[in-house]
Amino acid sequence: MQLDFFKTKTGLIFLLVVVYVFAAYIWWTLLLNGKTSEEYRLKIELAHNNYVQENNLPPEDLSFFKTALYHQLKKEETRQHWMIYGEASVFILLLLVGSWQIKSSFQKELELARQKNNFLLSITHELKSPLASIKLSLETLVKRLSLEEKFKRILNNSLQDVDRLNKLVGNILLAARMENNSYPFQWEELNLSELAEDAMAMVEERFEGKRNFLTEIESGVYCKTDRMALNAVLVNLLENAVKYSEEQTDIKLKLYENSRKNVNIEIIDQGFGIPVEEKKNIFQKFYRIGNEETRNTSGTGLGLYIVHSIMQQMNGNIEIMDNKGGGSIFRLTLHQSNDKQNV
């Protein structure tokens, strides 16, 4: 499928600008030509008046129109008209060639981005099955064999590495799908309170004893949403809260219905916080803050891009607030009655 440049927002704006410039130029050309004709009509009228006066002729005498001066003025007028048409043609030609060039290179960019995305989608798909099979084999070995503690530890470490790889592959796949709008959202009325508890429990299990995990979750809060996507949002935010905070600090998940009957979920940490000037950047793809704390942690800069894309496609909202005690608060808003989710 070829992506059409003019179907993109930029393409449409570009087309409008080109059409406007084209129309404006035609209008100015016609106006200038009209003014030139008017100027020469007046010049000829003046010359005619002078001619009849100098030669003591009646005003209606037409012999002026056979003089060299009249022909000279007419010639000049024609030259002026051709000059205007010539310049207009060169400008329009340049405009068309330039627009065509811009359109072609933009189309190429779109095509390249699409190919890159398709490549990412297929390669990550291909990576998923061998990873799943390695994981299964390792789990079977750990469970079935009565191994020495040392070997068990090695196998468990490998299992953790497979999990990390799996998560990375999952994130790349999710980002690629979000980018080309191919994530298959499955909207269903879900108990968000349970979903949030589960996400927290999942992260807590992995980092048990390293952080203080707290919850303040209103029970029985429902919303139409996609289970996998919202789970990915919560897990990404909770893992970031762990990654960018010190050991034994608090990580809290709050869920409540606000006064407008929308659902708010807050992930609150007491970590390094996010500088004000970075708040608008961190949702960009592959963006990582260049400070000491980020450099000392591993990451790809994909997590918040995915979180932001999912929230956008769910018609929700995400904002970052400063935690007064230090650290950050990521607040999600989900709309309970949402047209987008009723499709």
Which residues sit at the interface with ligand ADP, rule CB under 6 A? 240-241, 243-244, 269, 271-274, 282, 287-289, 294, 299-305, 328
Residue least distant from ligand ADP (Cβ): 299
* Structure token pair of residue 103: 């359109």
Minimum CB separation from ligand ADP for residue 150, in Å? 32
Minimum CB separation from ligand ADP for residue 329, in Å? 9
| Comparison of 88 and 301: residue with beta carbon closer to ligand ADP | 301
| Comparison of 156 and 212: residue with beta carbon closer to ligand ADP | 212
**Around Cβ 158, how many Cβ atoms within 10 Å?**
16
Minimum CB separation from ligand ADP for residue 84, in Å? 57
Collapsing DSSP states into helix, strand and coil, what is residue 9?
Answer: helix
Compute the half-sphere exposure of residue 112: CA atoms within 13 Å on the CB side of its CA: 6
CA distance to 15, 47, 65, 140, per residue, from 68 (Å): 49, 12, 8, 107
Minimum CB separation from ligand ADP for residue 322, in Å? 11
Q: Rounded to an integer, what distance in angstroms lies between the CA atom of residue 51 and that of residue 54?
A: 5
Minimum CB separation from ligand ADP for residue 203, in Å? 13
| Comparison of 241 and 310: residue with beta carbon closer to ligand ADP | 241
Compute the half-sphere exposure of residue 291: CA atoms within 13 Å on the CB side of its CA: 10
| Comparison of 220 and 290: residue with beta carbon closer to ligand ADP | 290
| Comparison of 152 and 279: residue with beta carbon closer to ligand ADP | 279
Collapsing DSSP states into helix, strand and coil, what is residue 320?
Answer: strand
CA distance to 156, 172, 242, 249, per residue, from 135 (Å): 10, 19, 24, 32
* Structure token pair of residue 133: 């099979």
Minimum CB separation from ligand ADP for residue 266, in Å? 12
| Comparison of 84 and 176: residue with beta carbon closer to ligand ADP | 176
